[in-house]
């Protein structure tokens, strides 16, 4: 249970996030659920900016699950090489595409259990697709920014993304889950950066244990 003082602090953090980043959305460029799925798989251990440089050519060559399922693996690897771990990612992309074609008529499912059946898809990727493509708040996206900032803000002390997500889901109202992740990611990129957080510019400084709350 969250005590009243902490609940008020969480409310203020959510309010200020909404005030500072009201227009925050997913930074991965995509057109539809399938492209978002592919881009999110590619974003593992890679910046969104790099993924956005790679995906236009990738989607021209393989625009949907049917095309990706038939892709030449060597060609696919070359197209995504600069995102890192390209061999594993290419296998995940083709494996998920084949599963989509075989079991879901090439369409990306809109529920967590079916998404988790896809190669290369864990809860973070599934939450991105469900929240951004379908508007379904199935959980909280926990990427490196969300994990780091949630710990800095004292919203969790966990390091495992699954445990961080559980703490956030217990603390944050469900109708805020999708926007909370988008907004916190933007804050992590712009202000609360990993090596040198710009605390003097932070709207949440008075609410942050790092500053001595």
**Which residues belong to the active site?**
124, 143
Give, as one character, the DSSP assignment of residue 199: G
Report the distance separating Cα 27 and Cα 48, nearest Å: 7
Q: What is the dihedral of CA 192, 195, 199, 202, to 10 degrees?
A: -10
Let me know: does 175 contact 10? Beta carbons within 8 Å. Answer: no
Helix ranges (DSSP H) in the chain = 4-20, 33-42, 48-61, 65-69, 73-80, 86-104, 112-115, 123-128, 134, 144-152, 161-171, 177-190
């Amino acid at each position: 249970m969250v005590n009243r003082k902490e609940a008020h602090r969480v409310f203020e953090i959510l309010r200020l996030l909404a005030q500072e980043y009201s227009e925050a959305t997913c930074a991965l460029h995509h057109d539809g659920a399938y492209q978002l799925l592919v881009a999110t798989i590619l974003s593992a251990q890679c910046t969104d900016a790099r993924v956005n440089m790679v995906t236009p050519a990738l989607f021209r060559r393989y625009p949907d699950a049917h095309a990706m399922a038939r892709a030449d693996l060597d060609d696919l690897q070359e197209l995504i090489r600069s995102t890192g771990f390209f061999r594993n990612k290419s296998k995940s992309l083709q494996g998920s595409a084949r599963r989509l074609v075989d079991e879901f008529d090439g369409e990306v499912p809109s529920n967590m259990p079916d998404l988790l059946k896809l190669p290369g898809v864990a809860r973070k990727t599934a939450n991105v697709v469900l929240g951004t493509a379908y508007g379904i708040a199935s959980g909280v996206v926990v990427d490196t920014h969300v994990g780091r900032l949630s710990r800095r803000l004292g919203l969790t002390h966990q390091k495992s993304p699954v445990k961080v997500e559980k703490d956030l889901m217990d603390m944050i109202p469900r109708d805020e889950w999708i926007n909370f992740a988008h907004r916190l990611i933007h804050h992590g990129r712009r202000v609360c950066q990993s090596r040198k957080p710009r605390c003097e510019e932070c709207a949440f400084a008075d609410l942050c244990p790092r500053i001595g709350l």
